[in-house]
Amino acid sequence: MKVKLLNAPIIFLDYSGDVLTGYYLISNRWTVLNDVYITFVRRKGIGYCYNLTWAGPLTKSEAEKLSCDNETILAVRHDVIKPFLQFLDDEVFLPNSVEVRTIIGLDCDQLNLAN
């Protein structure tokens, strides 16, 4: 991407991430069986969200680093979840359906029910 600021030299930014590629982290601790959407881990592991754009995308190395040795986090590639994504008011969500949970490898027996 080329960025030009007034009275400044042209700067090239190396940004390879977009919502069409990369990895996302899914929390099997905070994804609840009867929630509408799957819960993602936010960028840099700071909190949780339903909105995919808040969760990434991450590079493969970022995803591995954040999910390493953590059994409550699953790393998933964008191309795996892309067919299931839902768009609502400029936000992107992954529905919490049996089909999606199976595709991403969430074990329904490990998920809790919300009150």
Convert the pLDDT of each residue in 60-95 to its tens digit: 888 888 887 787 888 999 999 999 999 999 899 999
Give the residue with greater pLDDT, 20 vs 16. 20
Provide the 8-state DSSP code for 39.
Answer: P
Does the pTM surpass 0.85? The reply is no
* Domain parsing of the chain, residue ranges: 17-110
Average pLDDT on 90-115 reads: 81
Per-residue pLDDT at 113 exceeds 70: no
Average pLDDT on 43-70 reads: 88
Token pair recorded at residue 3: 């960025």
Length of the chain (residues): 115
Give pLDDT, residue 36. 92
